[in-house]
Structures are given as structure tokens and as C-alpha cells.
Amino acid sequence: MANWPTKNAENWLQFWANMLKLWGRVLLADNTVFDDEKSKATSWKTVLGVAIYTLLQVILLEAFYHRKVVLSSVEVAVVVTVVPLSFYMLNGVIYITARVFGGKGDFVEQAYLHSLVLVPIGMLNLVTVVLSAFVFPQETVVGLIVTIMLAIYMLVLQVRIVKVVHRYSFAQSVLAVFSPFVMISPCLCVALADWSLSGWLERLLFVR
């Protein structure tokens, strides 16, 4: 990621131009981008990426619920809280799992590289939702498919990040990334089953 610019407007333009170029390299899965950026990792760069992604999520929700004039302050507060918290929790779990399996990487490097993935994927997802909501409102299935594909692609890039940061093999990287999801899946299944059963009982007992 480019260095933080000075107050000069030209430097700011150059900064964002470099950022767009970097996000493009990430999106196109440039083989060297993660290796190049790993040594440049800092906490403030990660925070900047997460902040931009959070803003994209607020705009995305506004586009998705386009019948509303504006999101309420409570809804915005929830998004602004949950998105960064989820980011750091997920990276923490993946980092701990990678270390348990013998990884040698640094958390700041892993989180920073992951933040580089979030922004371009978030931009594409926003474009998809806007097109689905306003331009092609009848093609909701296509929008859903594109969103799922972007989520899968993000997982692929996350595997590459873990491989670079922790100096893993491909198989070890896959294991480190997917193990947390495997571990929490029973809890999710139980929660989903409980939610479904509760809804079914409510309809059975109270809906006439």
C-alpha cells in the first residue's frame, strides 16, 4: 500500500491512484502482489482498508434496501461495529489456527494482506447489488450467483495470503483457512435448526 500522503493535493491523488493500481493487482491475483506487500504491512494501513470496506458495506445495505430513504443511525452503528469486529475476529482465529499448525507468520502481515482483498471484492459486490437493485431488478438470481462467486474467490485469495505469510504449502494453507469454519459449522447448524424449529412451532401454535 502506498505511503500516507502529505496535505498536498497532488500527493493525495497519487496515493489513491497507487491504491487503485494495488487493488487491481490483488483482484487479478497477481502472483507477486502479496509477497511485495507483506514487508510493507502496518496496522494503520489495515485500519484504512477495513474502514473503506465498512463504508462500502453501509452503501451496499443502502442500495440493497433501496426502498428506504436512508439507513437509521442504529443500523449504521451496527454495521460500523460488526464489520471491523468480524474482520479482526476472523483473522485472529485463522492466525491462531495457523500457528497451531506450525505457521511462522505475523498477525499484522496477515491482517493487512486480507484488508487488501476486502476493498476490491467489496467494490465488485457493491456494483453487483446496485445493478441487481436498480438496473436489473428481475435478475436477482444472477446477482446472488455473482455474490457467491466473489465470496469463493475471497476464500481462494485468503488461502494464498496464509500461504505467503506463514510460509505454508497449499494443503496447509487450505487447512488453516477452512478449519475454523469446520469447527463452528456444528454450532451454526444447531442454531439454524433451533431457529427453524422455533419458527415452525410459532406458526403451529399461534397462527390460525
Whether residue 3 is contained in a domain is answered as no
pLDDT in tens, 99-134: 888 888 899 999 999 999 988 888 888 788 777 766
Whether residue 48 is contained in a domain is answered as yes
pLDDT in tens, 7-35: 565 677 887 788 888 888 888 877 688 98
How far apart CA 36 and CA 32 sit, in angstroms, is 6
Whether residue 4 is contained in a domain is answered as no
Whether residue 1 is contained in a domain is answered as no
Supply the Cα-derived Rg of the chain in whole angstroms. Answer: 20
Whether residue 18 is contained in a domain is answered as yes
Give the model's confidence band at 195: pLDDT under 50 very low, under 70 low, under 90 confident, else very high. Answer: very low
Whether residue 2 is contained in a domain is answered as no
Give the model's confidence band at 186: pLDDT under 50 very low, under 70 low, under 90 confident, else very high. Answer: low
Q: Give φ, ψ of 154 to 5 degrees.
A: -65, -40
Whether residue 123 is contained in a domain is answered as yes
**Which domain, by its residues, includes 21?**
9-206
Question: How many structural domains is the chain composed of?
Answer: 1
Which is nearest to 129 in space by CA: 143, 149, 148, 145?
Answer: 143
Whether residue 74 is contained in a domain is answered as yes
